A and B are shown apart, each in its own frame.
Chain A
Amino acid sequence: MHLLKYDFNYSRRAFLAKAGTLAGAGVLAPLWPLIARGADIGKAYPDELMSIEAWTKGKIKTGDVITAANVDVVKELLTPIAYRQIKEMGRRIRIVATTRDVSRLFPHDYFEATLRNAGKASFGADGNVYAPNGERWIGGNPFPDAKTPVEAYANLTLSWGRHNNAVYAVKDWDIGPDGKVNYQYDFVWFEENTCGRLGPGGAFGSYTGDGHKDKLRYQTVMFTGPSDVRGTAYLNTWYYDQRKFPELVGYVPAFKRVRKFPTNQRFEPLAPGLTFYLSDAWAAGDPMLIWGNYKLVERRPMLGAVSHNQVDDPNWELATHGGPEGKTFFEYDVELIPECLVVDAEPVGFPRAPLGRKRAWIDARNMMYIGYHTYDRRGELFKSFEPAYGLYEKKGVKDLTGKHTTWSWTSVMTHDIQNNRMSRFVQAKQIAGGYKSARNVEGMYDKYLTEQALGRMGA
């Protein structure tokens, strides 16, 4: 018989006690010192936060599948839309064990940099994050043990994919209320950080010239299929100053040339049927300081798809289920995350935004969001943006980034709950056009992240 050291409400009381304080992660002990020592994070949390069985008093066990029949047992651990999906729309999720080795929740180099640079970040008078010498950030999470909502959002914003750069070959399916796949797109997403870089070349690599030194990242999204949108591409150039909108240029095949676009319309789909917006990317698709009224709502345990979601499909695609046609949801493995920061923010820099608020659930262990909701201006739930992550290893097959097993996102489901439209997409191995997912690619800026590149790649 397993004896509990703490009663079931211990963690709830502990989280409540931390509310409004500048306490960091951990209930029984501070989390990050344990992580830094490579110790078991179980010492930071009581059993009920490390085991779904303990949390549910034995009603749910690792390996169980959560369906409409038993979802009420874990309702508190789910985002509101995930709960509705399971309760009303036929979605199911499978419980896997909580990850105790936090290094498995990061890309290797990023984890090392997070440990190495802990405590070096601070906010400048302009609200931006700076390294001790006043330079741009130097790598890893600037605030690994975020105590404020803005610190948490700085972790999400300064490095999206947590590699120097990445190519995400994305296959997307858009499902209508009837459960049928109405649209399908292939697009490739390129992102490259100009600071906080890891490995040879230093924190800024070659991005020290006048044209780069005020930048945070370059990011291109280009559709490669179907043929009606093939070649449509947009290049976002992000300033390091998070008060400034990125620059946006685009290649529209009809015009056959690269043109400048306004950058403040970030709450609109990029193509018919898509339910995600530029603003949704990484739950931090807009410069951090264009949003405001950040609020740390609470800390709480959650279920999140942060491990075991890399599958052995040849093209890294996922099985589906649920909805009227059995095609609406991906199969996700979720684990009990002992502590998430629940952060709200408002789109103060966007007049006439369709949103009134966004909420992100951020895993305290790796400071990556595991759930993201937006609310309309009436305060009603609008959309969910639910990612899955993991180490890219399964059945003995590994995908490597450098010498280490790749860690990245594997898929996302974004659900417009008001219109019941779902866009779900995977980071595929390869998509139409021959683009392959990769990380830390040499020469990415020249190849994909300039206006010249847009003109070349466009159809």
Chain B
Amino acid sequence: MADSKPTVKNLPIAGIIFTPGSAKEYNTGSFRSQKPILEAKLCTKCGMCWVYCPDGAVFVNSEGMYEVDLKYCKGCGICVEECARKAIKMVDEEEM
């Protein structure tokens, strides 16, 4: 018997999930057909991409710049529309 998958005997009752925020293990990046590319030169760090990202995929990196986490970005394009400086562009996944 393979014991890699949980069975009804060792699953917690009532569907309780004990790890908070475990959805992080699930990469929603595969939803995407186009990805956002940020041009750092144009960015004024206004943070609007971070505010409006539905997936929380935009984060502030160690240099204080906004960066898109492509593991989770679903490619909705809101950041591109809302960027006042037009610093973000959508490119097809296959390019780059």
Chain A complexes with chain B: no
